[in-house]
Amino acid sequence: MELCDLTLHEIKDLFVKKEVLPSMVLASVVRRIREVEESLGAYLALDLEAAFAAAQAADGRIKEGKALGVLDGIPVAIKDNLCQAGKETTCASRILQGFVPPYTATAVQKLLDQGALILGRTNMDEFAMGSSTENSAVKPTRNPWDPRWVPGGSSGGSAVAVAAGEAIAALGSDTGGSIRQPAAFCGVTGLKPTYGLVSRYGLVAFASSFDQIGPITKDAEDCALLLSAIAGFDPLDSTSVQGEAVDYTKDLERELTGRTLGLPREYFGEGLDDEVRRIIMAAVAQLEELGARIVELSLKLTEYALPVYYLISSAEASSNLARYDGIRYGRAVAGREDLATYYTRTRSEGFGPEVKRRIMLGTYALSAGYYEAYYQKAQQVRTLICREFEEAFRAVDAIVTPTSPTLPFRAGERLTDPLAMYLSDVCTVPVNIAGLPALSVPCGFAQGAPVGMQIIGRPFAEAAILQIAHQYQKVTAFHRARPYGAGRGGQDGL
């Protein structure tokens, strides 16, 4: 197996033993990028010169026996909606072409402080609005298991980079499933943290009450390492929650005996692919064998989650994206017409179809005469959904569901049917509505495509859901399967 196919923790062990140097790992990753990037399109921009310089510095620290940071010498990719000083940040949109932020996102800065090698910026659905990474204004991204399939979205580039060995780990953002759904489609592990656990400072906003930055990695142990590095209070983010630093790797080896896991009936009903249901239930049986108690429960408001999410998130998007007017930064059209025409032309040429659709939906929901009927009502139902989860967590330690109701779909299949595309998020958006932590774990293959299991926890219970995922991954091998080279035959999983 190539170095680029190893996990973060496996590479760290090799560093400690001085059997491998960061420059060697980076060279392996870069070779893989040169082999597959043209066909996959995971990256919008690469910064390999800076990465090699940082790798040389990390080599020196290892040779000198100095203490290493958590991510020292680890090649990491970041989604193109995370600002980094001096690096063009476009959110895969024409309207932000040429925008170079003067500051760095707190999560990215924490990676740099821990010695991570930032490889570049990954492709995404424009402004994180999409479930397939086909809404990028630059190019689509392809699934490494089969380029005819979408990789999921909006963090498709980050998930593909990790799955294909083009990065050891990556950061994505999750507003309605944008880390977990591509993680499921690409056969990797992706975590959406509790709202407020990871600073949103420097994350270009889509829907501010939903957005969260999180890790995409090859397994749960890597997720725990990366989350430990980026979590924590940040005075620059008014929604950041104060609390002591947590080592999310500490309890990974605890057994599942005594854990109660809930299966919500509403996630296993109409619309769930039969193969996905079979694979998820097999994974649940495995969790039961490991000592977990499985109980059935009901989350009756689940059917309202999708309309609630798209009303509130679109309303917040229409407000957040009002700042892109072509005057202060980003794309601007030529000409000296009146201001209204200038705004219209700039935004019409700068935004893609999906972004325009959501801006219009959100503006309508906030407009006079419709605010109470749509936006206000959606916020009231959001409160009820939060309370329903609170009630469920009085009886269970975590909730297990499919990550996606379907297998990865073909590229172009849903582009002309927005409702079908939105239904891709039906299992993930309730988590964002309630601000809960959840992660997607590879749990099988159907028709050659990966399937993801979602584990949802109560607020700030990341350690618990990571422990459940880790114990599952100790006895299965789905997370070890790779789309290239050694490991591709590991799809049987047990």
Q: Which of 36, 75, 317 lies closest to 175 in space, CA to CA?
A: 317
Catalytic residue among 93, 136, 154, 158: 154
In the 8-state DSSP scheme, what is residue 71? T
Instruction: Please state, as a whole number, how many other Cβ atoms lie within 10 Å of the Cβ of residue 323.
Output: 11
Catalytic residue among 93, 178, 228, 240: 178
CB 163 within 8 A of CB 157: no
Enter the tokens of residue 77. 């990719």
CA atoms of 195 and 175, how far apart (whole Å): 10
Q: How far is CA 90 from CA 59, 101, 126, 377, in A?
A: 32, 10, 9, 34
Catalytic residue among 12, 23, 79, 131: 79
What is the rounded (10 degree) CA torsion for 215, 204, 109, 54? Answer: 80
SS (H, E, C) 27-62: HHHHHHHHHHHHHHCCEEEECHHHHHHHHHHHHHHH
Instruction: Please state, as a whole number, how many other Cβ atoms lie within 10 Å of the Cβ of residue 284.
Output: 19
Whether 17 is a known active-site residue: answer no
Q: Which amino acid is at 303?
A: E
CA atoms of 299 and 119, how far apart (whole Å): 41
In the 8-state DSSP scheme, what is residue 372? I
Distance of CA 14 to the CA centre of its chain: 27
CB 229 within 8 A of CB 111: yes
CB 466 within 8 A of CB 440: no
Owner of token pair 């039906």: 426
Whether 154 is a known active-site residue: answer yes
Q: Indicate the angle between helix axes 302-320 and 377-392, nearest 10 degrees.
A: 130
Whether 178 is a known active-site residue: answer yes
DSSP string for residues in 206-274 = SSTTT-EEEEEESSHHHHHHHHHHHBS--TT-TTPPP-----TTTTTT---TT-EEEEEGGGGSTT--H
Q: Which of 464, 454, 480 lies closest to 252 in space, CA to CA?
A: 464
Q: Which amino acid is at 460?
A: F
64, with CB counted inside 10 A (0-12, 13-18, 19+), is exposed
Enter the tokens of residue 471. 């114990």
Instruction: Please state, as a whole number, how many other Cβ atoms lie within 10 Å of the Cβ of residue 263.
Output: 17
Owner of token pair 């032309």: 345
In the 8-state DSSP scheme, what is residue 295? E
CA atoms of 304 and 194, how far apart (whole Å): 21
∠ CA(424), CA(151), CA(101), 5° rounding? 100
Catalytic residues: 79, 154, 178
